[in-house]
Structure 1
Amino acid sequence: MTLRSVDLRKEPVEAVLDRVERSLGVHLDHDTVVRKRRSVGARTDRSTWVRVERRGLDRIGAQGGDGTASAAALHGIAKPVWFAGVAWRDEAEPVMWLADETGLLPGTPVSSAVAAEDPQLSEEWWASLSASLDALAAQSTNRIATPDTETLTQELVTATIHSVFPGVDTAVTDWCPAHADLNWANVTSPVFCALDWEDWGMAPRGLDAASLWGASLAVPALADRVRSERRNDLESRDGKLMTLFVAAKILGPYAGPEDPRLVPARKTAEQVLQELQVS
């Protein structure tokens, strides 16, 4: 059976939310519902938050769909507390629904996924971001990261980079745990907290830093700050490959001609390509 392309901002989700309420024993505040393309979230009557995701079975992979629950074992990272979860297979489509109940966030998402203006974040915020990413990278897991729900393998790295930058030596040597969906909608302010841990797992060093950089390119000062804060990651060889990986996604066949990130992504990529040739 072919999986339909679904945007949960436009699909009826009442039956799904009803099932979540029964399974988790909560009442959702429907006035607080937030809809995204593949997830829906709402506040509960016990001052928690429930996020519900629709994911195709072909995107679940061998590690299963317990990203948020398994992230509860990670330490030293600013993230919501996980309380409970439920998952079930859709009766009509090759789809799994996953719902996780977590603590409320200490702030609000910084912006949409791609920043359009400088959020004016505090020094404490940047320090907490770096401390969390350093703590995450120092831990271990059998999970494999799934950015954009695709299992991150050497083959995927190579194919993505070569689609825009052919001929680059893409061999990754340093793999470590990453959030794998780090953008401005998945971090909060004024207090830093990283949310949406469904895709975390092993990834090339620098993936998270490069992802946040890519989401900042429309605001040059913000992109420069990300690169400055995560210099050690992004100046490593694997960090440079992840910069090309993210840039290739921005510059690839689905690039929007009006995307303000195109020019800075191309400029940085050309510089990184020169550095890789010299090293």
Structure 2
Amino acid sequence: MPLSVPAGRAVDLRVESVDGALARVERSLQTRIDPNTVVRKRRSVGARTARDTWVRIERRRLDKIGTQGWNGTECAARLQGIAQPEWRGCLVWRGPDESVMWRADETSLLPGRPIGTAVLGEDPELPDDWWKAFNTSLDSLAAQTTNRVATPDTDTITQDLVTESIRSAVPGDFDTTIAQWAPAHADLNWANMTGPVFCLFDWEDWGMAPRGLDSASLWASSLVVPALADRVRRERRADFASRDGKLMTLFACSKILGPDAHPQDPRREPARRMAEEIVQELLQAG
């Protein structure tokens, strides 16, 4: 049977049994899952199949799905000019006695291994060709159109969310209004990209977002390695130089400095310094 727990209890799929969900996916997609390849994350599980594809299974509460649904990987299949896995199909079901839904998306295999964890602890020493493909994909994504709205951390991004997040962690009397919105991956970190061949995956939360969200998110996940964080800022300098990009950098800093952040996060000090610098720039610009 699929995992069944009280709806009010937080679930971490890294420790909960997912045998029932894996068995259901095998039956419905008519393939076998290689148990030696299973990768567990907090709200998702992935594994290789016997037909050389990858299946990602996610559990999400109904109140986190919203009106636009949660078919981000399926919708991303139409995007052009982006290095991403080929989408093959999906399976969706509702858990018994739960206010949650399960979704399994089957895609082609990645061209390499994920670069690291969401927050990287050492320089991956990526080749210049990787950075070129990275920039091409992000620029292509930002140039496209969609009715989807990004849901970073499963929260729909809005002007109010941006303002509240920044105000909760960054002092200063400056305007937080976003001027430019564009399509974004919305979960851009080192766990969702491959190397040495670039590929961007896990598209569940993509949609319209303030300019610079992806660049700022990747910068924040690089702060433990200063040279890498600097490289992200150089590669995406147009985003970071824009007013919206500065606000998104503060938004990323708020995740590290805010009231719910981990007090021992090693990124706190560089995030604090950057936040102070940006606030001064915004105040001077008026």
Relative to the length of structure 1, the TM-score reads 0.98
- Return the offset for 1:62: 1.0
Aligned residues: 279
- Return the offset for 1:65: 1.1
Identity %: 63
The whole-number CA distance in structure 1 between the counterparts of 2:258 and 2:65 is 25
1:165-184 equivalent positions in 2, closer than 5 A = 165-166=170-171, 167-184=173-190
1:99-178 equivalent positions in 2, closer than 5 A = 99-166=104-171, 167-178=173-184
Secondary structure at 1:70 match in 2: helix
- Residues 57-95 of structure 1 deviation map (CA, whole Å, 9 limit, x = unaligned): 010011101000000000100110000011111112110
Q: Which residue in the other structure is 2:264 paired with?
A: 258
1:14 maps onto 2:19 in alignment: yes
Secondary structure at 2:269 match in 1: helix
Q: Which amino acid aligns with 1:122?
A: P
The whole-number CA distance in structure 2 between the counterparts of 1:116 and 1:158 is 30
Q: Which moved more, 1:66-75 or 1:88-97?
A: 88-97
Structure 1: 5+ residue stretches without partners: none
- Note if contact 1:3-1:93 (Cα within 8 Å) is conserved in structure 2: no
- Note if contact 1:49-1:103 (Cα within 8 Å) is conserved in structure 2: yes
Secondary structure at 1:91 match in 2: coil
1:243 alignment partner, one of 236, 244, 249: 249
Q: Which moved more, 1:259-268 or 1:198-207?
A: 259-268
Deviating beyond 3 angstroms after TM superposition, the runs of 4 or more aligned structure 1 residues are: none
Structure 2: 5+ residue stretches without partners: 1-5
- Return the offset for 1:5: 0.5
- Note if contact 2:7-2:100 (Cα within 8 Å) is conserved in structure 1: no
Q: Which residue in the other structure is 2:43 paired with?
A: 38
2:198 alignment partner, one of 192, 198, 210: 192
Backbone CA RMSD of aligned residues:
1.0
Q: Which amino acid aligns with 1:270?
A: E
- Return the offset for 1:38: 0.5
Relative to the length of structure 2, the TM-score reads 0.96
Q: Which moved more, 1:152-161 or 1:257-266?
A: 257-266
Secondary structure at 1:96 match in 2: strand
- Note if contact 2:31-2:50 (Cα within 8 Å) is conserved in structure 1: yes
The whole-number CA distance in structure 1 between the counterparts of 2:157 and 2:118 is 20
2:28 alignment partner, one of 14, 23, 27: 23
- Return the offset for 1:258: 2.5
The whole-number CA distance in structure 1 between the counterparts of 2:199 and 2:261 is 30
The whole-number CA distance in structure 1 between the counterparts of 2:8 and 2:145 is 33
- Return the offset for 1:2: 4.7
Q: Which residue in the other structure is 2:3 paired with?
A: none
